[in-house]
Amino acid sequence: MADSTSGDLNGSFNDKKESTSIKPRVPSMEEQSSTFGKSAIAVLLLSLLVYVYRGNFLGFRKQPQVVSLDGRYGFGRVSEPAVEFTIDTTKRDAIVEAFKHAWSAYERDAMGSDEYYPLSKKGSNLVDAGGIGYTVADAIDTMQIMGLQEEYQRARDWIANNLTFERDGQFNTFETTIRVLGGLLTAYHLSDEDPIFLEKAKDLADRLMPVFDTPSGLPRSLVNLAQKKGYDEPQMPNIVSTAEAATLQLELRYLSFLTGEDEYWDKAEGVRLTSELGRPGLNVVQVMRVIKATSLPSGLAAIYMSAETGVFLFSEIRLGSRGDSFYEYLLKQYLQTDKSEPMYLEMYRNAMEGIHTTLVHKGVNNGLIYTAEVHPDRLPDGSISWRLAPKQDHLVCFLGGSLMLGATTTGLVGTSVSVPPLPDELTETGQRDWKLGYELIETCMDTHKTATGLAPEIVHFYTAEDGDVSDKKRDWYIKGNENPAAPSYDARPETVESLFLAYRLTGNQKYRDYGWQIFQAIEKFCKVDEGGYTSILNVDDANSERLDKMETFFLSETLKYLYLLFSDSSLLPLDKYVFNTEAHPLPIFSP
C-alpha cells in the first residue's frame, strides 16, 4: 500500500431553551400526517400539493408517463396518462411511527450518547472523554422533515445546552463531517436559521480545519477536536481514504456560503487556478484539485492516497467502502453550486465513463448488471496488472439513483426533461447512464431475495470461471465463511436512496412497492418490541441472531428516504437540494 498506483486500466484483467419553530419550507407535522391533523385540512393540503406540482421541478416539464419502446428502462412516451405525485399517507405514517419507536428508545436509554444498543438498552460514546452528539445531530433533521415538533424541540434543546466539541479524543474526520456537521447545517436551514445550529457547526468546522495541514492538502483521517489536530489511523500512516477525503466538500462549501468565510471552501475544494472559479485572492491547493491532478487515465480512483504526496497508492479500485462517496460527490458538487463549476462535471463524466468501460459486468445466469472491483497485482517487472473481483457491496447501491439523476441533469439534449424522460431528450451518454442506473436498482433489489427480504452487506457474482452454475437460482451468492460481515444487514440506506430518486424521476409505482417491501422486512426482522431497531447477522436465516446496535444512519438516512419516497415531490425538490452522503439535504446555491 506504500506504492503509488500507475498503469493502464484498459490493460489486462485476470478477470439542534427557548421555544423555536421549524422553518415552513418543510410542511409541518399537521400538514404531513393525517394522524396529527383534521381530515378536511389534509384533503385540502393534498389538493394544493397536487396543484403546486403542476409547476416545474428539477428543470423537468410534466409529461405523459411512458415505458420505453422496448418495455425497459422506464423511459417515457407521449401516449400514456400524465404522472401524478401524491402522498401515500398510510405508508408514510407507518414510517413516522417507526422513527418514533426508534428515537423514543434512544431518548429513554441513551440521550446524548453517540451510539445506541437497543437490546442492552444503553448508549456509548466514541471516545472516553465524552460524546459529540452523533445520534442527535444526525437524526434531528429527520424530525424536522417529518414534522415531529416535540421530539425536535427536545433534541434542539440538548444541542443548545449540552453539545460540546471540547473532547480530547480522536474522531473520524469523515464521519464527524457528514453526520454531525452535515446534520447541524441542515437543521439550521430547516429551522428558519436558528443561530444555535450555525454556531455549533462553525465551532466544529474550526476544530476540523487542522486535518488539512498536510504536505498535499489531503485531510488526515482522524481529528482530536480538543487539541485541534489531525492524526493518521495508526495502521495506515500517511494514508488517506479517497472517499473520505473527497466527501467533505458539500458541508464545508455550504458553511463558507453561510458565513462568508472562504477557508472552509478552500480547504475542502482546493483552489489553485483562481480565474476558473472567478474567486480572486485564493491560492491554496487542496483536496479536489489534488485528486483531479492525479486521477487515473480511466477517470477512476484507487481507494487510498498519500497524505504526503497526494498520489494514489497501490490499492483497489471499487465503488464500495472507501471509494463510494468519491463518485457520489462528483455529481452532487456540480449540482450544489447550480452547475457553475465545470471541473466537477468533467470529473463526473470521466468517472462514469470509467465505470461503464471497466467495472460494469453481467451475471452469467440471469444477466443481472453489477459493478465489479479491480485489484492490482505487482508484476516482476514492476508493472501493474489489474485483476477483476466480481464483488459488490451494498454501499454501491447508491449508484443506480445517482446515475439516473446524473442522466437528467448532465445528459440533456435541451434544457428540460420529462418525467419520466423521453429517450430523445437525453444524449447518448445520458441514455447510457439512465439505463445503467435502472439496471443497477433492479440488481440491488434482487439481492433482497433472501429468507428475510433484506440484502446482505456484500454479494459475489458467479463468472464464467466458476464453470457451469446453471443450477444456481441467482447470479450472486454470499461468501459468509470468507467474511463474517458479508451476510449481515445493517439497515443501510443506499438502495432506498436510489428508490427515492428513481421514483422522483419517473413516478413509477414499482419503486414505492420496492421500498415498502424493504420497510416491511425491517419491521419484521429488525424491530425491537421494547424500542429501537437492530441489525441482523444473516439475511438468509429467518431466525438470525440480532446485532445489538442501532446505526445512526437508520434514523438519518434509511427512514428519511423511505418517508420521502411516499411523499409528494414538492417536499425537498431535487432542483433545490442536494443530499449529502448522510442524507442531510443542503440547498443548492449560486456562489
Report whether pLDDT(202) > 50.
Answer: yes
pLDDT at 385: 86
Provide the pLDDT confidence category of residue 294 given band limits of 50, 70 and 90: low
Report whether pLDDT(58) > 60.
Answer: no
Provide the pLDDT confidence category of residue 409 given band limits of 50, 70 and 90: very high
Report whether pLDDT(556) > 70.
Answer: yes
Provide the pLDDT confidence category of residue 481 given band limits of 50, 70 and 90: low
Name which residue leads in pLDDT, 17 or 363: 363
Name which residue leads in pLDDT, 278 or 209: 209
| Contact criterion met (CB below 8 Å) for 173 and 151 | no
pLDDT at 280: 32
- Overall average pLDDT of the 397-423 stretch: 96
| Contact criterion met (CB below 8 Å) for 174 and 209 | no
From 83-97, 256-270, 331-345, 413-427, the region with the lowest mean pLDDT: 256-270
pLDDT at 82: 63
Q: Please tell me the distance from the alpha carbon of residue 539 to that of residue 590, in angstroms, as a whole number.
A: 45
pLDDT at 296: 64
- Overall average pLDDT of the 136-151 stretch: 99
* Given the residues 3, 175, 442, 446, the one annotated as active site: 175
Report whether pLDDT(94) > 60.
Answer: yes
Task: Kindly calculate the radius of gyration of the chain based on its CA atoms and give it in whole angstroms.
Answer: 23
Name which residue leads in pLDDT, 271 or 395: 395
Q: What is the mean pLDDT of the chain?
A: 86
DSSP 328: H
pLDDT at 84: 76
Intra-chain end-to-end CA distance of the chain, in Å? 38
pLDDT tens readout for residues 527-551: 999 999 999 999 999 999 999 999 9
Q: What is the 3-state secondary structure (H, E, C) of 400-421?
A: HHHHHHHHHHHCECCCCEEECC
pLDDT tens readout for residues 489-522: 999 999 999 999 999 999 999 999 999 999 999 9
- Overall average pLDDT of the 30-58 stretch: 35
Q: Is 494 a catalytic residue?
A: yes
Name which residue leads in pLDDT, 241 or 75: 241
Distances, alpha carbon 447 to alpha carbons 113, 399, 431, 436, 476, in Å: 33, 15, 25, 17, 8
Report whether pLDDT(6) > 80.
Answer: no
Provide the pLDDT confidence category of residue 472 given band limits of 50, 70 and 90: confident
pLDDT tens readout for residues 185-194: 999 999 999 9
pLDDT at 334: 96
Q: Please tell me the distance from the alpha carbon of residue 550 to that of residue 83, in angstroms, as a whole number.
A: 37
Percent of the chain topping pLDDT 90 = 74
Report whether pLDDT(65) > 50.
Answer: no
* Given the residues 324, 328, 425, 439, the one annotated as active site: 324
- Counting DSSP H helices and E strands in the chain, the numbers are 21, 20
Element (H, E) at 370: strand 369-371
CB atoms under 10 Å from CB of 463, counted, come to: 17
Report whether pLDDT(143) > 80.
Answer: yes
CB atoms under 10 Å from CB of 575, counted, come to: 13
Query: Which spans in 78-148 are helix H?
Result: 89-110, 134-146
Buried b (16+ CB within 10 A) or exposed e, 435-461: bbbbbbbebbbbbbebebbbbbbbbbb
DSSP 487: T
* Given the residues 494, 497, 551, 557, the one annotated as active site: 494
- Overall average pLDDT of the 362-383 stretch: 93
Q: Is 582 a catalytic residue?
A: no
- Overall average pLDDT of the 564-570 stretch: 97
pLDDT at 183: 99
CB atoms under 10 Å from CB of 150, counted, come to: 10
CB atoms under 10 Å from CB of 413, counted, come to: 15
* Given the residues 194, 244, 457, 475, the one annotated as active site: 457
Name which residue leads in pLDDT, 42 or 248: 248
| Contact criterion met (CB below 8 Å) for 65 and 52 | no
Q: Is 457 a catalytic residue?
A: yes
Provide the pLDDT confidence category of residue 591 given band limits of 50, 70 and 90: confident
Report whether pLDDT(269) > 80.
Answer: no
Report whether pLDDT(342) > 50.
Answer: yes
Report whether pLDDT(281) > 50.
Answer: no
- Overall average pLDDT of the 356-360 stretch: 95
pLDDT at 437: 98
581 marked as binding residue? yes
- Overall average pLDDT of the 405-414 stretch: 97
- Overall average pLDDT of the 380-389 stretch: 88
Report whether pLDDT(1) > 70.
Answer: no
Chain length of the chain: 591
- pTM for this structure? 0.87
- Overall average pLDDT of the 354-383 stretch: 94
CB atoms under 10 Å from CB of 92, counted, come to: 22
